[in-house]
Chains A and B, each alone.
Chain A
Amino acid sequence: EDKVVQSPLSLVVHEGDTVTLNCSYEVTNFRSLLWYKQEKKAPTFLFMLTSSGIEKKSGRLSSILDKKELFSILNITATQTGDSAVYLCASIAGGTSYGKLTFGQGTILTVHP
């Protein structure tokens, strides 16, 4: 069965700190990895990674995928209180896994002023 594991499960930092969130996966016929941010309700899309070693960047957030070692990291620099949320990573497999995301447990990030 496909598995996605995130670490740490929770993290408390102060504004201005840099954080690194980890996501490892064991997925048969792996195709893509996605990162989402969930604050109150709907997870909002951050990144999709399909190729190894290519960094995706958006402002203070960046992410990279290592398909050899089967993991991804999400970096947030100069954290702000608005970054407080649950960060979810999810994998997509090929074959007949239409529309199915397999999620990790999430990392709860708390940023104090």
Chain B
Amino acid sequence: KAGVTQTPRYLIKTRGQQVTLSCSPISGHRSVSWYQQTPGQGLQFLFEYFSETQRNKGNFPGRFSGRQFSNSRSEMNVSTLELGDSALYLCASSLVGHVTDTQYFGPGTRLTVL
């Protein structure tokens, strides 16, 4: 079974631009969670989607948004990029996002903001 895939793997943007990252979950998984990983803050939860609905959101500004499509693929968007948005963005999928569901991670998208 194919794992979680993320595209693109690397991105370089400049301040003020916007960016869209994509995540395709494991086949049959309907919950997708997004995380930001930085050396200073570690892995932090951004948001979770299930059946095209955002069910949970972390403490990030409104510049960070996402959506999920009917095939469970998810995208996240960051508008008006800041230098501090440089990070590894990871998505993880699970069956339905239940507390006993294991989350499996994709390889991540490395975003560099210049």
Q: Answer yes or no: A16 CB below 8 A from chain B CBs.
A: no
Contact count A vs B, C-beta below 8 Å: 72
**Is there an interface contact between B56 and A45, defined as CB atoms closer than 8 Å?**
no
Which residues on the B side are within 8 Å of A34 (C-beta)?
Answer: 102-103
Of the candidates A45, A94, A104, the one having the most CB atoms from chain B within 10 angstroms of its own CB is: A45
**Is there an interface contact between A99 and B50, defined as CB atoms closer than 8 Å?**
yes
Q: Answer yes or no: A11 CB below 8 A from chain B CBs.
A: no
Q: Answer yes or no: B42 CB below 8 A from chain A CBs.
A: yes
Interface size class of A (residues with CB under 8 A): 20 to 34
Q: DSSP majority for the B interface?
A: strand
Of the candidates A36, A88, A94, the one having the most CB atoms from chain B within 10 angstroms of its own CB is: A36
A 24-59 to B, binary, CB cutoff 8 A, 1 in contact else 0? 000000011010100001111100101000000000
**Is there an interface contact between A50 and B100, defined as CB atoms closer than 8 Å?**
yes
Interface size class of B (residues with CB under 8 A): 20 to 34
**Is there an interface contact between B103 and A98, defined as CB atoms closer than 8 Å?**
no
Closest A residue to B34 using CB positions: A99
Q: Knowing A96-B55, A99-B55, say if A42 contacts B102 (CB, 8 Å).
A: no
9 intermolecular pairs with C-beta atoms under 8 Å apart? A32-B99, A34-B102, A42-B107, A43-B43, A96-B56, A98-B50, A99-B92, A101-B35, A101-B45
